């Protein structure tokens, strides 16, 4: 393992050995990174926030696992939490690439500068678009978060890295009109693939969101309105 970058000190909160759903069309392991500056009520991994000072799993142990999975996995997805919150992300991605794996990234776009830094190391990105950008704090609880997400989207589109933009839909946080408004904005900025995700109660720490997760309108109707925004 002489190719390892010993500077990698990624704080890892968990490891999924095999996933067919975190990177469309790929069999991937998922590295769950600690820490996130936002406080989205529907977060399904609140145990990763805030970051602890140590790792649940040592980074060297993650690399040892991946070394044994060469030829069995297509890639590794860095998820969280917010992976770009960690200084060691680029170094960790280089370690993974040195083992021959493709690299995927899940991000909310909270750190545009670090996203730009790691994109040359990434083969695919799943970027969250949580709400109309001028009303982001409704979901994240943090003022100014929409400007950061919009900047990250523009960086991603300019880089040309394969990606999808995902929006989690909870009726207490996003009305259907908000989702369609966001879709129009994304289409105007050049997005080609926008995926709607229903809220999942698993792991959600907000009992009110769990109780009021039912939709009044049909999913198919909302999907049709969103699809009409894209060529």
153-202 pLDDT per residue, tens = 999 999 999 999 999 999 999 999 999 999 999 999 999 999 999 898 88
Give me the pLDDT at residue 3, please: 53
Vertex 70 angle, CA 69 and 72, to 5°: 65
Coil, strand or helix at 169: strand
Residue 50's pLDDT band (cuts 50, 70, 90):
confident
CATH superfamily ID and name for 12-227: Aldolase class I (3.20.20.70)
Q: What percent of the chain has pLDDT over 70?
A: 97
Give me the pLDDT at residue 200, please: 87
Name the residue with tokens 């060469």: 70
Residue 1's pLDDT band (cuts 50, 70, 90):
very low
For residue range 193-209, what is the model confidence (pLDDT) as tens digits? 999 998 988 888 889 99
What integer is the mean pLDDT of 40-47?
91
Please tell me the pTM assigned to this model: 0.93
The string over 74-99, giving b where at least 16 C-beta atoms fall within 10 Å of a residue's C-beta and e elsewhere, is ebbbbbbbbbbbbebbbbbbbbbbeb
């Amino acid at each position: 393992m002489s190719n390892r970058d010993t500077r990698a000190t990624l704080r890892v909160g968990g490891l999924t050995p095999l996933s067919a759903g975190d990177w469309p069309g790929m069999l991937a392991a998922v590295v769950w990174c600690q820490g996130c500056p936002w406080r989205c009520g529907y977060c399904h991994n609140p145990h990763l926030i805030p970051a602890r000072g140590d790792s649940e799993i040592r980074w060297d142990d993650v690399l040892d696992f991946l070394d044994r999975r060469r030829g069995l996995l297509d890639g590794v997805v860095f998820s969280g939490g917010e992976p770009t919150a960690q200084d060691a992300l680029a170094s960790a991605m280089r370690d993974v690439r040195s083992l021959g794996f493709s690299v995927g990234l899940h991000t909310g776009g909270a750190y545009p500068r670090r996203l730009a830094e790691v994109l040359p190391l990434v083969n695919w990105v799943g970027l969250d678009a949580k709400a109309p950008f001028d009303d982001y704090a409704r979901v994240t609880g943090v003022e100014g978060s929409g400007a950061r997400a919009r900047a990250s989207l523009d960086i991603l589109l300019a880089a040309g890295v394969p990606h999808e933009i995902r929006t989690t839909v909870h009726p207490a946080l996003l009305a259907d009109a908000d989702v369609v408004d966001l879709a129009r904005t994304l289409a105007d900025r050049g997005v080609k693939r926008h995926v709607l995700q229903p809220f999942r109660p698993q792991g959600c720490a907000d009992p009110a969101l769990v109780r009021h997760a039912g939709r009044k309108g049909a999913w198919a109707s909302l999907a049709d309105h969103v699809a009409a925004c894209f060529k």
